[in-house]
Structures are given as C-alpha cells and as structure tokens.
Amino acid sequence: MTVQLLGLVPPGAALTRSGAAPGDALFVSGTPGTRVVGLALEQGSLTAPGRGARRSCASASNAQRRRVALGERLRGFASACIDVSDGLLGDAGKLARASGLAAHMRSESLPLSEALLAVVGSRARASAGTHRR
C-alpha cells in the first residue's frame, strides 16, 4: 500500500531539512525513545519493572503523535525541521547533512520520559552519550 499526502504551505514558509545555519540550537518536541521502548516491551525483547511504566511506554508506542500544529507555529522562528520517527540521532544527522553542518547533542539535555527512565534507567542517558553528527 502506498499513501501520499499533499498540503499547501504559504510561499517561502516551508520548514525544510536544509535551512539550518551555524550556531542554531537543536530542539526536540516530545520525549525521544519512549515509543521504541514501548515497542520492545510489546515484542517481549525488553521487560519493565512495573505495570505503570510498561503501560505508559506501550501507549506511546501505539500513539503516533503528529505535530503539524507545532510546525505551523514554528514558521518564522525555526530555520529547519525534521520528524524523528527514524530516531533522534539518525534524523538529526540527516538534518545536519542537508544543511551542510554537524549537530552536537548532549544526552543530559534530552527530555526523557519518566516511563522510559523507569524501564531502562540510567542506561538511556548512558547509551545516548554525547554525539556529533
């Protein structure tokens, strides 16, 4: 099955991957990693210490959150944009390459969910580390 969506954007207002400039800050909405942990819990490749954390991560896995409204509000403020459905690190690298730049992220700055931390604990920040893409 193939799905194609089309929409209209005011001329010159589209947020693309290639608009970032040196010195721009990198922001993320939501809590990266929670959906993939929820999927791992559902598939049985990861176990959760409590039902509450498992339920929160699993519901995040089933709820694809579209942030179209946020993207519309960012027009005029943000210089570039990308969805991170393939993972924060990989997609930040795609955005940086499209803009001819590198991205630097610090794991201690990531907004990790309480549910994710309850399941994987300090491993979440340790595996994220400090990355340059």
Q: What is the residue extent of each domain of the chain?
A: 29-127
User: pTM for the full model?
Assistant: 0.74
Query: Residue 64: its pLDDT value, please?
Result: 61
Q: In tens digits, what is the pLDDT along the chain, a chain of 133 residues?
A: 898 888 888 898 889 999 999 999 999 988 888 888 888 888 888 877 767 777 777 676 556 667 788 888 999 899 999 988 788 999 999 999 999 999 999 888 889 888 888 888 766 655 555 555 5
- Tokens in use for 55? 């339920």
Query: Residue 37: its pLDDT value, please?
Result: 83
